Structure 1
Amino acid sequence: MNFKYLIFLLIGCTSFSQNNFPSSEVASIVERIKLPVIPSYQISVAKLGAKGDSITDNKKFFEKAMALCKKNKGGTIIVPRGIYKINGPIHFVSNVNLRIEKGAKIKFSDNPKDYLPMVLTSWEGTMLYNYSPLIYAADCDNIAITGEGIIDGEGGKTWKTFKAKEAKGKELSREMNHTSAPIENRKFGEGYFLRPQMIQFLNCKNILVENVRIENSPFWCLHLLKSQSITIRGISYKSLNHNNDGIDPEYAKDVLIENVDFDNGDDNVAIKAGRDHEGRASTTPSENIVIRNCNFKGLHGVVIGSEMSAGVQNVFVENCKTAGYLKRGIYLKTNADRGGFIKNVFVRNITLDQVEDCLYITANYHGEGKGYQSEISNIHFSNISCNKASESGIVIQGFADKKIRNISLNNVEIKEAKNAISNENAENVLMTDVFIGKRASVPTAVSKN
């Protein structure tokens, strides 16, 4: 192990101490999250003529079901057993539950033209108009996706080819962000190759996604954008395409994520809050997010950033474990382009197997940017175990003129690590019962000759 950067900063202990996990605050958040209230009206897409034969385009039948729900002030759309091809998006109205029953699969087309006209959405932290997400709800209250069926985004063919061609659109979107271009002028879609999200809720309230399985997304799987009072529970994943983040709360408030089995091609949970100038101009941080009892598998377990310019605060992660290799377990990342803040993050009872880095906090992600350093403070880890870190056990990286502050680690054990701790430009770092590598025993006695 390399102890070059092993530094224990115990200064300031009179003003900063190890904080206990605030269970009462978690309970308060969970209590105020409201589940959607759905009227009693029900309609089966099969009764409207939909065929679960994996061939027929059923878009018009799903649209008719949604229209009938709207006419009846809401209701439940039932998708019975079968494979239902849909050549285009599902657009929600308020007070609707899309119930995908066991043995049922919704399989979306992968023809980009099917997802036009464009809708207001976001792409990597910048608001713009783009292809519609495959399931899209904007300005809706009381909406749900439930059942034990599968949502298949067919993202591994045509959409997968977009990754190599996205640079022009990505760069233009960031330029428009930095120059505060009017959102109505930010038109992408055809010719720009920015992939749509699988499921996106924009400006929605009282959301439930429960028990469904998400497969083969074109881009981010479940994007919670400018929405609040959200419950995600019991869902599972098999989505391994480029940038297949599992759940992305962005400008989101009061979110419960529990009992989720992740297996996706990027971050499991990635908490975001807009990007650069646009994010810093917002007064809507992502906040009050509870993540518990989840199984992590993918690139990273829980990530905050890197698009977090409006700030992220009050995040609580507990009782989670890995079901396979992760590159990083808990990862807080920002850089000098972002600004904003990450604060009041509590992580406890996490069991990791093999990772590249166990706990990683950096204010210099990719070494990019200048002029807008982020504030990172009040981050607390307790009861963390990890079998092996092939690179670093614990990494904390601030700036000399903008230090990371108030980090506590209590009862952390990493059984094997190439590098134990890299701790630079941080103040008030308190470590209690932290073990990396083999635990020391009592000192050996001087041998007698």
Structure 2
Amino acid sequence: MNFRYLLFLVISFTSFAQKTDFPTAEAAAIANRIQLPVFPSYQVNVVKLGAKGDSVTNNKAFFDKAMALCKKNKGGTIIVPKGIYKVNGPIHFVSNVNLKIEKGAKIKFSDNPKDYLPLVLTSWEGTMLYNYSPLIYAYECSNIAITGEGTIDGEGGTAWKSFKAKENDGKMRSREMNHNSVPLNDRKFGEGYFLRPQLIQFFNCKNILVENIRIENSPFWCLHLLKSESITIRGISYKSLNYNNDGIDPEYAKDVLIENVNFDNGDDNVAIKAGRDHEGRANSATPSENIVIRNCNFKGLHGVVLGSEMSAGIQNVYVENCKTIGYLKRGIYIKTNADRGGFIKNIFVNNLQLDEVEDCLYITANYHGEGSGFQSDISNVYFSNISCNKATESGIVIQGFPEKKIRNISLNNIEIKSAKNALSNENAENVLMTDVFIGQRATVPSAAK
């Protein structure tokens, strides 16, 4: 080995090793540049339009009328006062509107799939297609919000729940269309395909606020941030335990702040995505990026997940000051496979407190052992100041491929008090461990006897 090459290795290794502190300034810069929506002074109360919070009356027409009046007045605030408002069909946003659901108010959607026709342009597990409308849907809007201390109930536990057992044909059809680059206009789903809609979806939107509301009983993903940017999600809470009830799914999303959220989900709490396979790779100019997750309470399947649909790439994710408040299978889960391609890089996790989990920190490039030909690039992942009381399976797992190794993983001040399997580190290079304790801490060596 010549001296110049050796010097390069030392410099590269040192520059990576020095980057162990959480980049607080970078995360703050993202949060500070996100713009909150601003609304005109116009207000409309749905009750004054004829809505009844009696849990029986179908109020769809009154919510539609409120949106139309806001559009006529170039925006405003729709006030939903105390009561239970049945809405048989979707609420479609227009720009410059704040849907304010007051304390004691609940919007309860119907669970009749026919109410969510005609089809709208949306996405399903990383593939763009036409499907049932999300229950709250904003397409190409700016300056929009859902606020207040009320509840949105997706009524997802009966009719929609039954779709799960019937969705496979539709799911595989969507993936074949993705792989074969079928024109978007030919990707029609809806009736007969059993692909459940998201509860709330913001699609091609900008300057979004979701604050203090409660989300319950979603048919599918709860809050889908699709191809949107400048987003603030804060102070919301969940109780949504149906199949695939991810809490928040940023997908091709940019400049996102998620803070002070109390999760209780049947699936991932935050699942960062960026498109699936061929279609995702074709959108590599719009990765999911610049996402700050802080001061959240995790409960559900996994805390923060990156993937598995991430083919356009995920970068610049900052997770700080979060903890569990109940069961969690995995704390941080980075997952991709050889169908995906793309990259995951510049991921920072600091001050994470976990109670009992199955696996504490899990990075795998071979999720479900699927795929070939498109291995993902995973690099520059930094974990610091993480505690876990018990991992019933593994403390730390890193799984790359021999020909595509995971690179530059930093583990600094990690303590896992109990784990069935401490560490599995496979096909990774430049994994730096400083003050890592798994199981009982060793003390001074015992004297010879």
Superposed counterparts of 1:36-55, under 5 Å: 36-55=37-56
SS of residue in 2 equivalent to 1:14: helix
TM-score (normalizing by structure 2): 0.97
Aligned residue number for residue 183 of structure 1: 184
**Match runs of 1:147-226 below 5 Å:** 147-226=148-227
CA shift, 1:446, in A, is: 1.3
Alignment partners' CA distance in 2, 1:12 and 1:66: 56
- Which residue does the alignment assign to 1:5? none
SS at match of 1:320: strand
Q: 1:102, 1:420 → 2: CA distance?
A: 46
Aligned to 2:279: 278
**Where does residue 100 of structure 1 map in the other structure?**
101
Secondary structure of 1:161 counterpart:
helix
Deviations 1:213-235, CA, capped at 9 Å, x for gaps: 00000000000000000000000
- Identify the match of residue 314 of structure 1 among 313, 316, 322: 316
Question: Which of 1 and 2 has higher RCO (CA within 8 Å, sep 6+)?
Answer: 1
Equivalent positions of 1:321-400 (< 5 A) are 321-400=323-402
Deviation, 1:105, is: 0.2
Deviations 1:72-117 (CA, angstroms, capped at 9, x unpaired): 0000000000000000000000000000000000000000000000
**CA distances 1:228-256 after superposition (whole Å, capped 9, x unpaired):** 00000000000000000000000000000
Question: Following the alignment from structure 2 to structure 1, what is the Cα–Cα distance between the partners of residues 398 and 217?
Answer: 34
What is residue 444 of structure 1 aligned with on the other side? 446
1:27 aligns with 2:22: no
In the alignment, the residues of structure 1 paired with residue 322 and residue 16 of structure 2 have an alpha-carbon distance, to the nearest angstrom, of 27
Which of 285, 295, 298 does residue 297 from structure 2 map onto?
295
Structure-2 separation of matches of 1:446 and 1:110: 72
Distance 1:296 1:305 in 2: 18
Deviations 1:24-57 (A, max 9, x none): 1111101110000111000000000000000000
Query: Which amino acid is 1:215 matched to?
Result: E
Residue 267 of structure 1 corresponds to 268
Identity among equivalent pairs (%): 83
Between the aligned partners of 1:411 and 1:340, the Cα distance in structure 2 is 30
Residue 69 of structure 1 is matched in structure 2 by 70
1:80 aligns with 2:81: yes
SS at structure 1 position matched to 2:36: coil
Partner of 2:130: 129
Q: Once the 2 structures are TM-superposed, how far is the Cα of residue 16 of structure 1 from its aligned partner? A: 2.5
> Amino acid of the residue matched to residue 380 of structure 1?
Y
Deviation at 1:18, TM superposition (A): 4.3
Task: State the partner residue of 1:7.
Answer: none
Residues 18 and 408 of structure 1 are in contact (CA less than 8 Å); yes or no, is this contact kept in structure 2? no
Alignment of 1:104-123 (within 5 A): 104-123=105-124
Does the 8 Å contact 1:245/1:266 carry over to 2?
yes
Instruction: Please give the per-residue CA displacement for 1:388-440, whole angstroms capped at 9, x wherever unaligned.
Output: 00000000000000000000000000000000000000000000000000000
Shift of 1:352: 0.1
Which of 417, 420, 431 is matched with 1:418 structurally? 420
- Which residue of 1 is the match for residue 411 of structure 2? 409
Partner letter of residue 73 of structure 1?
A: K
1:264 and 1:441 mapped to 2: Cα distance?
40
Supply the distance in 2 between the matched residues of 1:277 and 1:31 (Cα, whole angstroms): 34
Maintained 8 Å contact 1:18/1:430: no
The 1:215/1:168 distance shift into structure 2, 3 A limit, reads: same
- In 2, the alpha carbon distance for the partners of 1:149 and 1:322 equals 24
1:14 corresponds in structure 2 to: 14
- What is the letter of the counterpart of residue 128 of structure 1? L
Give the Cα–Cα distance (whole angstroms) in 2 for the partners of residues 14 and 57 of structure 1.
64
Partner of residue 231, structure 2:
230
Contiguous gaps of at least 5 residues in structure 1: 1-9
Give the conservation status (yes or no) of the 8 Å contact 1:11–1:428.
Answer: no
Unaligned runs of 5+ in 2: 1-9
**Given residue 229 of structure 2, which amino acid in structure 1 is its aligned partner?**
Q
* Contact map agreement 1:341 1:376 (CA 8 A) in 2: yes
Distance 2:365 2:121 in 1: 31
Equivalents in 1 of 2:39, 2:270: separation in Å? 27
Match of 2:144 in 1: 143
Secondary structure of 1:16's counterpart equals helix
One-letter amino acid matched to 1:342: I
Matched AA of 2:250: P
Report how many residues are paired.
Answer: 438
Task: Please tell me the residue identity of whatever aligns with 1:310.
Answer: A
Structure 2 Cα separation of the partners of residues 301 and 78 of structure 1: 33
The one-letter code of the counterpart of 1:13 is: F
SS at match of 2:49: coil
- How far has the Cα of 1:13 moved from its partner? 3.4
Task: Say whether the 8 Å CA contact 1:126–1:278 is kept in structure 2.
Answer: yes
Between 1:146-155 and 1:21-30, the stretch displaced more is: 21-30
